Chain A
Amino acid sequence: MKRLDLSIFCAVALIVVLSLRMLASILLHPLRIGWDPALHLQCAQLIAAGGLPYVDMFDVNPPLIWYLDVLPAVISSLCNVPVTLSFNLFMWLLMVLSSALCAYIALTKLESGSSLLTNLGLIFGLLYFNFFLTFDFGQREQIFVLLYFPFLFLRYARYSGAVIGKSEAVFIGLLAGVGICLKHYFLINAICVELFLLLTTSRKKIWSNFFATESMSAFIFALGYLLHFFLLPQAVRENYFGFLVPAFASGYQFWDTSLAGSLGAPDKRGVFFLLSLSGLMALAFSRRSSLLGCCAAFAFSGVVPYLLQFKGWAYQDIPAFAGAVIVICGGIAALIATLLELISKAKRNSVKYSSIFSATCLALIVLIAGISIVNGREEYDKVKAEPNFPMSRIGFAGDSPYSDIDSPFATIILANAKARDSIIFIGNAVAPGFPVTTQLNVKPGSRHLHCCILSVLQYIKDVRPASPEKTRLLSFKDGIIKEYIDDIEKNKPILIFMQNNPASEYLAPYKFEQYLKNYKKIDDVAGYTVYRLQV
């Protein structure tokens, strides 16, 4: 088998094996989703139904992820499949697209000799990290990694002097533009990678490389995204830029988590040890492949947005984690390549080297496929052994493992509501209202999908010094409560889940219970009081 054939075979086999393994997992868990992706999907569903962001639904996140999620939301309603499943399939497609593009660039644009195995290792890492995300599958950080990596490969190829076609550069640039614009923090990763590339390569053609087609198309997308805010209706802009953005900017430290809590806590530190290991791998093999160093720059720069976001939430370190996994996989592949070279040198036989190399590649593919099959079978057996949830109860065909939706809130919703009924969670976090609302195909009964904003306002009230801006921001609180009341009056949600602390404390001065006279208190569960509409 020719070397080129072998490399194409290996890349395709790798992508097919790992993609099929992921597809099996997605199909076994049609309702599995994390809280943030579920919230974004809900927003996308509302937009698809004609709603306006920050008017018909309130959340502080920038709207691009909602626009992106409109696609799975629409497909879900057209095909009558759970929106969670269509979203996970959408993510799967992104995963396949990203790895296929990276493989395409690695095989056609990059030097295929000594760094072939390393590049295959990097592609393996790009696929492999997704398997560790489970409930963080579908976070914007993951989407960013998947959309950005083909761009990183392409930029590396560009700076290495490869000839890049215009259409592929535009397409990959647009994908990266979407990825970076999902959260402004991601620009830090992109800047660090660009800095690495600028400093690595010679100064010849530096400006033409910098302003290449792909970077321009990413830039144009970002510019278009920024401009689109000016085209949004006045009410959207007023709510977003006039209230939500300044309020969250002023009260963001409500989620205070120290450096020790962000980096040193037992559930978090593993990622940073992996990151250090990836640094060692990238450095040790930096002479063999500087692409490893480029990926390490991406991985290490992921620490900055993680800490800047101040919350220490695990999913926010996904770029650092993914980068670390990608580099470590690439590093292991580089180590194998080094060992193969040593063996072939010991035998003083270059023909032998080629056959050893091919045999090792094939053996690795067989090993990965074997592990995937065994592992997939285990997952299948585990799912089948669990109690099943018939999705006909929420208007879809098929079954799902009950553990994917298992929560006291799901039990209450299933007992009291049917598909498309309205419910409200008044709590100061995205969970537990999400993912259960999205999973069980019920509608949010209020434009306020959660009441984080009330905690933020409380923080501003307690901590920030008196100023006209503080007074202005706090004046919005009455309006929010009124909107809750109006929504309850208008939508008549079948269930209202009221967080005992702190949400009910925020509502207490407004004697909120008087607006629930049509409701009967039916339960008190996990810190929430549950009210049911009396028909």
Chain B
Amino acid sequence: MKRPRFNLILSSVICLCLWAALTGYFSVHQLLVPAEAAMRLACGALIADGAKPYIDFLDNSSPYALYLAAIPQLVSRLVFVHPICVFNMLVALLTLVALLLVLNCARGDSRRLLLVQYCLPAIVIGTALTLVYFLNYFGQESVLFFLLFLPYLVQRYASISNIKTDNRRLSCSPAIGVLAAIGLLLNPIFLLALLAVEFTCLIALGDISLTKIKTQYLTSELKACLLSLVLLCLGLFCLAPTVVHEYLGPISQINQLAYEYYENGFSYVDKSPDRRDLVYAFVVFFVLALPVAGHCLLTRLMCVMSAFGFSYLVFTGTLLTHQGILMIAYSLTGLLLAGNRYLRSFYLGKRITAAVVRKCEDWLSAPIGRSGTRMLVLLPICAIASFVITSFVSLKQVQGKVFTLSELGYYGFGFEHDLSFFSKTVKEASTARQSVWIYSEQISPAFPLLTQLRRKPGFLVWGFPLHTLKILHERGTPDQVAQLAKFEQRLYERLRADALSRNPPVLIMIEDGEVRDLFKDHGITAIIDKFYSGLDPCSPLNGDEMAVHMPYEYLGYRVPFSVDKLKK
């Protein structure tokens, strides 16, 4: 029997344990999801019902991010489990698949593969630490991109370094390329990451020649990635041309204007989350990883991606915690890769590591029964133990009342503490599947609440693009205003028509200030006054709300919401 490779086994164990722990945690917290992911899940539900993005509802995410969100919704409808729980389980599965693909890049007996195998624990531990630290942001766009793109980076490292995996085994490179392409399409800005990585890889070839480019550069994962990008773009263009037209038209214009007309109101402390600790951590990790980047292409790629993550954070302009995930995830992985090398550069460290590794390999390869080894027994035991321990600890730590999800039409249970702000008001004034409008300048607090309670959002899924359109009128050029005039007119007409339709929203919550003023100016408040009766306003600063629910990040002042219920 072949001697098991310690790094491979250690990484497999961590990988399985991580998956089991995530599954255990989210099987307890079935309603826990970050706001942006919940918002896309709500869009996914609308798509599953036959709606078209940007035509039947408005959001500024890329169409691929929205269509992908329909998958958990469709699965949820088949198994009657809450879509948030399905989503979390799918992301946990993606974590497992991504890490197994990474491990697959290092499988084999050749000596050169040892180079990749040395890197595996750092990659897996880096991923695990990132996911655990950002557990409240599990499923965010950045997390999905990180997981989808990670195997691609490792495979590129192997290809460029001319490290061939075992030829007898099925190559996963095409699948890695396809996953990377899906990740890149989640947000158009991610395509810049591909350019940066490929530029670095090309230069890393060193002595660039046509033969080298053919054999080491244009390998199957790159071809699969590029082909998938082309096919996915063409596919969307052919299957939903109106969606593409709207996305490349007004939605992209609004995204561009939002970037151009930066909101200065963010510039004061206490009115915004201030995660400069993440930036400090990034700088430290990056600087410590940098010395190894010259010698190790994989560390270099991680550093390139972390620099990209930093510019992505800056590009967003809002600098919320989840926007810093890429920066931290890649720089931490880069640091761990570098740390591995630093450790092995010390004679004593190398000797001790070698001794420990040899002992472990001996122990793991010891036979149990006729065909098994300790290793084969160890893997499932660790996974089951992780699942049980995490579930047990999560159950112990939960706060607030538990309730059954049957009233929402699903199997399972949820905890009051996992619900977002204003859940009491929304629960009392509406039932599952009814339309509820919660409009403010940002995604929270409308989401994750509406997705958690299975309420349908309106044509405007959240406040997008009200703020940008308002700024456009104040600071935009006449040309810019004219370009979006039709779009704006259609938006408000649609809102008025929905409010007066046969199935109007049963509950409308509007943030005081800008959104309220806009609704007043465009005649929506008049409709609300006529057909709705006012309830007590809700405030995100209400002590009871703050005591019961988890805090959420919000830029600017937190002001109360008016609450209006449809008259019977």
A residues sitting closer than 8 Å to B (CB atoms) are 192, 195-196, 199-200, 203, 253, 256-266, 269, 272-273, 275-277, 279-280, 282-287, 290, 293, 296-297, 300-301, 303-304, 307, 312, 338, 342, 345
Contacts and interface: CB of A to CB of B under 8 A. Distances in A.
B287 A259 contact: no
Contact of B310 (A265, A276, A285, A297): A276
Interface stretch (B140-148, B301-309, B515-523): B301-309
A196 B276 contact: no
Given A256-B270, A266-B262, A196 B304 contact: no
9 contacts: A196-B291, A203-B346, A256-B268, A257-B268, A263-B319, A273-B315, A279-B310, A342-B208, A345-B207
Contact of A297 (B269, B287, B308, B319): B287
A275 B307 CA distance: 8
Contact of A269 (B204, B274, B279, B314): B314
A117 B551 CA distance: 54
Contact of A280 (B196, B262, B269): B196
Contact of A286 (B264, B300, B345): B300
Contacts of B260: 266
A295 B342 CA distance: 21
Contact of B308 (A200, A256, A276): A276
Given A259-B275, A265-B262, A269-B314, A286 B286 contact: no
Does more than half of chain B's interface fall in helix, strand or loop, or is it mixed? Answer: helix
B280 interface: yes
B351 to A, nearest CB: 15
Contacts of A277: 311
Contacts of A253: 269
Interface in B103-126: none
Given A253-B269, A259-B272, A287-B206, A293 B293 contact: yes
Interface of A is mostly: helix
Contacts of A196: 287, 290-291
A263 B314 contact: yes
A260 B555 contact: yes
B288 interface: yes
B307 A279 contact: yes
Contacts of A297: 287, 290
A203 B349 CA distance: 14
Contacts of A262: 276
Contacts of A303: 279, 283
In the A-B complex, list the 4 residue pairs whose CB atoms are closest, starting with the nearest. A261-B267, A279-B307, A276-B311, A286-B294
B317 interface: yes
Contacts of B345: 203
Interface string B255-285: 0000010101011111111111001100100
Contacts of B310: 272, 275-276, 279
A304 B274 CA distance: 14
A148 B525 CA distance: 62
Contact of B283 (A273, A293, A301, A345): A301
A283 B208 contact: no
A286 B293 contact: yes
A272 B312 CA distance: 10
Interface in B8-61: none
Given A264-B319, A283-B200, A338-B203, A300 B287 contact: yes
A372 B267 CA distance: 38
Nearest to B259: A266
B557 interface: no
A176 B276 CA distance: 28
B446 interface: no
Given A196-B290, A203-B345, A300-B283, A283 B303 contact: yes
Contacts of B203: 284-285, 338
B317 A259 contact: no
A434 to B, nearest CB: 24
Contacts of B442: none
Given A280-B308, A283-B307, 8 more contacts: A195-B288, A258-B267, A259-B275, A279-B310, A285-B203, A286-B300, A304-B279, A338-B203
A312 B274 CA distance: 13
Interface string B360-404: 000000000000000000000000000000000000000000000
Q: How large, as a class, is the contact surface on chain B?
A: 35 or more
B294 A272 contact: no
B313 interface: yes
A290 B196 CA distance: 19
Contacts of B318: 260, 264
A307 B319 contact: no
Contacts of A285: 203
A275 B315 CA distance: 13
Nearest to A304: B283
B288 A259 contact: no
Contact of B319 (A259, A287, A296): A259
Interface string B528-568: 00000000000000000000000000010000000000000
A192 B293 CA distance: 16
A287 B273 CA distance: 39
Contacts of B270: 256
B316 interface: yes
A287 B291 CA distance: 11
Nearest to B306: A279
B258 to A, nearest CB: 12
B247 to A, nearest CB: 24
Contacts of A261: 264, 266-268, 272
A253 B272 CA distance: 15
Contact of A260 (B196, B272, B295, B311): B272
A259 B274 contact: yes
A258 B204 contact: no
A397 to B, nearest CB: 44
B293 A283 contact: yes
Given A256-B268, A264-B262, A279-B304, A300 B317 contact: no
Contacts of B262: 264-266
Nearest to A334: B203
B208 A258 contact: no
Contact of B300 (A192, A283, A301, A342): A283
Contacts of B288: 195, 199
B449 to A, nearest CB: 24
A17 to B, nearest CB: 29
A195 B204 contact: no
B267 A265 contact: yes
Contacts of A338: 203, 208
A256 B209 CA distance: 54
Contacts of A263: 279, 313-314, 319
A200 B294 contact: yes
A287 B201 CA distance: 12
Given A260-B318, A263-B314, A275-B310, A293 B290 contact: yes
Contacts of A264: 262, 266, 314, 316-319
B266 A293 contact: no
Contact of B314 (A199, A272, A279, A300): A272
With a 10 A CB-CB cut-off, give which of B260, B275, B287 has the most chain A CB atoms. B287
B199 A301 contact: no
A263 B279 CA distance: 10
Contacts of B292: 199
B269 to A, nearest CB: 4
A192 B311 CA distance: 21
A287 B290 contact: no
Interface string B224-262: 000000000000000000000000000000000000101
A284 B314 contact: no
Interface string B315-326: 111110000000
A290 B295 CA distance: 10
B272 A258 contact: yes
Nearest to A201: B291
A273 B314 contact: yes
A264 B266 CA distance: 9
Nearest to B313: A263
A342 B268 CA distance: 51
